[in-house]
Amino acid sequence: MLPPETGSFRYRWIEYIEGLQDRICLGLQQADGRAHFKQDDWQRAEGSGGGGKTRTMASGLVFEKGGVNTSVVYGEVSDRMRKQLGMDGETWFACGLSLVMHPLNPFVPTVHANWRYFELYDRAGQLVSRWFGGGSDLTPYYLFEEDAVHFHRTLQQAMAPFGPALYPLYKKQCDDYFVNRHRGNEARGIGGVFYDHLVPGDDAEAERLMGFQQSNGDAFLAGYLPIVERRRDLPYGDSEKHWQEIRRGRYVEFNLLHDRGTLFGLHTDGRTESILMSLPPTVRFEYDYRPEPGSREAAMQEIFLHPREWV
């Protein structure tokens, strides 16, 4: 597969994603005040194409671990992809950004986001399908209602120019997706928005969907950084850290058992270090753990079991 031509749809999407990575990394570095992102440029293994930029941060004043990754990858549709992912084509192309930030302070929420674009080609090299997917979601360990409202309202406002029905639809899809079903439909966090396989019917619709993706990507820092600033200096102790690590364990369970992005990366021979960058630095798995009745942790557990409307 040839590199995208300057000015083409693919080229403009790649340009946007790489610029967004720069802006988000700068904003997160400034918020942290000490840690800086380190970049690891990588190429896919022989027999496949493309590569990416993995940027990671650790041991900061605010962020204990985090990463903001971009990839521009392509290759042949393998038998494993046909079987596991249901792809019917000969070659494929994908470009996107994926990020996860794990804070040190349990009162600062973990955040995840990704925005991606995919193309599928036939044997003659003709485009047979293309689609967008993505979203962002928040995983607090303790509830501050104003933070939840702010995060969701920012997403709602980013989507509003493209139709009032989109935010409630994609908010519900997020609530339905980021769930550990093996734990009684327990949510990973308080959600956000999630959408997948948005297929444009023509070039005009493709441009509209690119604008939709850009609006969501551009809203990320505005939705997250004010929450970081409000909570980063709140005092906490061992009990709060213990609860944070219990919930981080649930985060790991979802990412390894259910997350489509993780599975896609592994089934397309993606770079393991970049795929598993999303996992938190420290976690707890305690047998039959239950928060103390009447505690803040027990109240949070109820929210994970019963999704709420925030705006």
**Half-sphere exposure of residue 74, counting CA atoms within 13 Å on the CB side?**
18
Q: Model pTM?
A: 0.93
Mind listing the pLDDT tens digit for each residue in 23-82? 999 999 999 999 999 999 999 876 568 899 999 999 999 999 999 999 999 888 777 777
In angstroms, the Cα distances linking 277 to 23, 26, 69, 146 are 20, 19, 9, 29
pLDDT at residue 6, as a whole number: 75
Mind listing the pLDDT tens digit for each residue in 144-168? 999 999 999 999 999 999 999 999 9
pLDDT at 85 over 70: no
Bridge partners, residue 74, by sequence: 49, 93
pLDDT at residue 4, as a whole number: 66
pLDDT at residue 90, as a whole number: 82
Task: Identify the structural domains of the chain with CATH numbers, from first to last.
Answer: 9-305 (3.40.1500.10)
Full DSSP string of 21-88? HHHHHHHHHHHHSS---EEEEEEPPTTSEEEEEEEEEES-SSEEEEEEEEEEEEEE--HHHHHHH---
More confident residue, 49 or 12: 12
Average of per-residue pLDDT across 87-97: 88
- Strands (E) in the chain, as ranges, are 38-43, 49-58, 63-76, 91-103, 110-121, 127-139, 179-180, 186-187, 191-198
Q: Among 85-99, 192-206, 214-228, 234-248, where is mean pLDDT lowest?
A: 85-99
Q: Provide the token pair at 273.
A: 């270090």
36 is catalytic: no
Query: Which of 112, 152, 197, 267 is an active site residue?
Result: 112
Q: What percent of the chain has pLDDT over 70?
A: 95
Mind listing the pLDDT tens digit for each residue in 291-302? 999 999 999 999
C-alpha 302/C-alpha 187 separation (Å) is 10
